């Protein structure tokens, strides 16, 4: 590990996560000569990342609130092991400002933005206000939280149906519901408020105008502690089911260079407005006329960061660690180049017809490997996918010179991939890849619903 | 007597019926959470709930009896 003028060195990091992302972080740490400490629940003892880490500590029973969300225990282990940094990965505690604060107070560096920034962006109502003030376009909607259903209905009348009713503390597809009319809004208001309270600890809800035929496009940004903010281009994440991403690509077909440039600028503006540090993603919704609106900012490494790594040939986890050490960004905007096209598939243990989870033992697993294909897997053959965590078993990232070649390579990869013992969404992914909408690249966030309705 | 079984392993997120309630065929009686997803458990037949065998927060395995109907 290099010592720099301003920075300090990390020689040991604790990874407060599990599965594929823990493996991913360990890989970079090894390359940088940094020791790793992994944590695992009783259900995950046999997972690859537990073996890959230099040290692994069991932190409790399978349910996340008895293991991976146990902040004090995680920090105790970190202190005992003498680590200088904690990498939160994504999900779990990664966007929990209380955790970021506890880590900071214990004298350990949280590899991510400050607790204040996590707070500001975590509350969706506050984040919208902040972005409006910074001149970043937001989806037309309520600026303040809605107290009661009457207020919600009055507001929806003003902006017009359909509307999205969202929990202020929500994110990642949980705590939001589409309402076609006043009746639906009446029906869902109280339950959304109650669910928001039980899931996120706050019952704040707000309304946004529903943008149909929308694309979900996000900009990867990176900021150091010296006020430098750069972007690493965009990712198109419009293939979603129940607001969860399934296929992501970089770059995005049928989006003008002019619009992309404006989106990069807006993303950098957003990051600067909250004094951002480390890796972050600014999510936008883009309508048919290429108007774009701020949706939310993810104050962490994204699941789909590998597509950006494939087209830029950079290691974002390495950058995260360097920036956390106080170093300057290794490249300036001018020096960051992109090439080719990358597609990421999220392979879920789920029934491709009902979309319900399919936990079980992976009896056989072989990937259709080829040049330019990267697999970030959380499991290996013979292991059991348990019902306690999200159903993603691996991310498959495919790179090629052009989008067309990339799709072809992805299809070949899936034909040669075998997973047995559990049901996976591979047949469904194949169905999407074959569809005319995906092939010509002009598709929207409703692509899965559209394909399902054709099927039935 | 009829039973409602867990169709997959998971945690009991919500129970929508009490002992003595009449349920209709296809009615969702219990919501399970598995792999961060909500999975509704429906009554296959109509009947009267005789015993709810689980509590909110319980972990159940595939095939466990959730409640009995008569």
How far is it, in rounded angstroms, from Cα A44 to Cα A154? 49
Supply the DSSP string of A219-270, one letter for each residue: EEEEE-TTS-EEEEEEEEEEEEETTEEEEEEES-TT--HHHHHHHHHHHHHH
Is residue A162 reached through a cis peptide bond, with omega within 30 degrees of 0 on the bond before it? yes
pTM: 0.89
Among B13, B36, B62, the strongest candidate for a mutation testing the A interface, having the largest count of A CBs within 10 A, is B36
Task: From the candidates A24, A195, A241, A300, give the one annotated as an active-site residue.
Answer: A300
Domain boundaries, chain A: 12-111, 140-209, 215-455
Strand partners, A210: none
- Provide the CATH number for the domain around residue B11: 2.40.50.100
Neighbouring CB atoms inside 10 A of A254's CB total 11
Strand partners, A285: A216, A293
Q: Print burial letters for A5-25: b (CB count within 10 Å at least 16), e (below 16).
A: eebeebebbbbbbbbbbbbbb
Split into its structural domains, chain B has a count of 1
Contact list in B for residue A390 (CB cut-off 8 A) is 35-36
pLDDT score recorded for residue A2: 46
How far is it, in rounded angstroms, from Cα A415 to Cα A435? 16
In 3-state terms, what secondary structure has residue A325?
coil
User: Which tokens is A354 given?
Assistant: 């009902």
Q: Which fold has domain A140-209?
A: Dna Ligase; domain 1 (3.30.1490)
* pLDDT tens profile A216-232: 999 999 999 999 999 99
* pLDDT tens profile A140-192: 888 778 889 999 999 999 988 999 998 888 765 667 889 999 999 999 999 88
- Is A300 an annotated catalytic residue? yes
- Estimate the crossing angle of helix A115-122 against helix A97-105, to 10 degrees: 170
Contact list in A for residue B64 (CB cut-off 8 A) is none
* pLDDT tens profile A260-285: 999 999 999 999 999 999 999 999 99
Q: Which fold has domain A215-455?
A: D-amino Acid Aminotransferase; Chain A, domain 1 (3.30.470)
Pick the CATH number of A12-111 from 3.40.50.2000, 2.30.30.100, 3.40.50.20, 1.10.10.10: 3.40.50.20
Among B28, B31, B32, B35, the strongest candidate for a mutation testing the A interface, having the largest count of A CBs within 10 A, is B35
The domain of B33 spans: 2-69
Closest residue of B to A242, CA-based?
A: B37
User: Contact B34/A357, CB-based, under 8 Å?
Assistant: yes
Q: What share of chain B is helix, strand, coil (3-state, %, to 5)?
A: 0, 55, 45
Quote the radius of gyration of chain B (alpha carbons, Å).
11
With tokens 């390359």, the residue in question is A31
The conformation of residue A421, written as its DSSP 8-state character, comes to: S
Alpha helices in A123-226 (DSSP H): 124-134, 149-159, 182-200
Could you tell me which residues come within 8 angstroms of residue A70 by beta carbon, excluding any fewer than 6 positions away?
A59, A60
* pLDDT tens profile B8-64: 888 898 899 999 999 999 999 999 988 878 889 999 999 999 999 999 888 898 889
């Amino acid at each position: 590990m290099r010592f720099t003028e301003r920075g300090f060195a990390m020689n040991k990091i604790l990874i407060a996560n599990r599965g594929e992302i823990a493996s991913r972080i360990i890989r970079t740490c090894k390359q940088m000569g940094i020791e790793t400490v992994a944590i695992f629940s009783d259900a995950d003892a046999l997972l690859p990342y537990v073996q890959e880490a230099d040290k692994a500590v069991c932190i409790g029973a399978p349910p996340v609130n008895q293991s991976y969300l146990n902040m004090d225990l995680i920090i105790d282990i970190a202190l005992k092991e003498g680590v200088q940094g904690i990498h939160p990965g994504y999900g779990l505690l990664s966007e929990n400002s209380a955790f970021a604060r506890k880590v900071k107070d214990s004298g350990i560096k949280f590899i991510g933005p400050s607790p204040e920034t996590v707070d500001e962006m975590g509350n969706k109502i506050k984040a919208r206000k902040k972005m409006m003030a910074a001149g970043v376009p937001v989806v037309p909607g309520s600026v303040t939280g809605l107290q009661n259903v009457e207020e919600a209905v009055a507001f929806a009348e003003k902006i017009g149906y359909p509307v999205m009713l969202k929990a202020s503390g929500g994110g990642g597809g949980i705590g939001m519901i589409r309402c076609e009319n006043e009746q639906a809004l009446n029906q869902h208001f109280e339950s959304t408020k109650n669910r928001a309270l039980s899931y996120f600890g706050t019952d704040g809800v707000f309304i946004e105008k529903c943008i149909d035929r929308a694309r979900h496009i996000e900009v990867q940004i990176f900021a150091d502690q010296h006020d430098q903010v750069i972007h690493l281009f965009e990712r198109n994440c419009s293939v979603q089911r129940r607001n969860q991403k399934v296929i992501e690509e970089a770059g995005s077909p049928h989006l003008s260079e002019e619009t992309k440039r404006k989106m990069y600028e807006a993303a950098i503006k957003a990051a600067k407005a909250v004094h951002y540090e480390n890796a972050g993603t600014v999510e936008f919704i883009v309508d048919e006329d290429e108007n774009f609106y701020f949706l939310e900012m993810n104050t962490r490494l994204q699941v789909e960061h590998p597509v950006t790594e494939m087209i830029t040939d950079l290691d974002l986890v390495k950058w995260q660690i360097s920036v956390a050490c106080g170093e300057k960004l290794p490249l300036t905007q001018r020096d960051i180049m992109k090439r080719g096209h990358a597609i990421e598939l999220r392979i879920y243990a789920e029934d491709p017809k009902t979309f319900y989870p399919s936990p079980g033992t992976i009896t056989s697993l072989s990937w259709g490997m080829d040049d330019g294909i990267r697999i970030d897997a959380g499991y290996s053959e013979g292991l059991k996918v348990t019902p306690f965590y999200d159903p993603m078993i691996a991310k498959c990232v495919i790179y090629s010179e052009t989008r067309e070649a990339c799709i072809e390579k992805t299809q070949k990869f899936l034909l040669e991939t075998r997973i047995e013992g559990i049901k996976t969404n591979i047949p469904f992914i194949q169905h999407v890849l074959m569809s005319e909408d995906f092939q010509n690249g002009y598709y929207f966030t409703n692509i899965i619903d559209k394909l399902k309705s054709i099927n039935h | 007597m009829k039973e409602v079984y867990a169709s997959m392993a998971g945690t009991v997120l919500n129970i929508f019926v009490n002992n003595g309630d009449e349920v209709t065929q296809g009615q969702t009686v219990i919501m399970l959470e598995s792999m961060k997803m909500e999975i509704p458990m429906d009554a296959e037949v109509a009947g009267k709930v005789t015993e709810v065998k689980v509590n909110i927060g319980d972990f159940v395995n595939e095939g466990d009896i959730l409640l009995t109907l008569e």
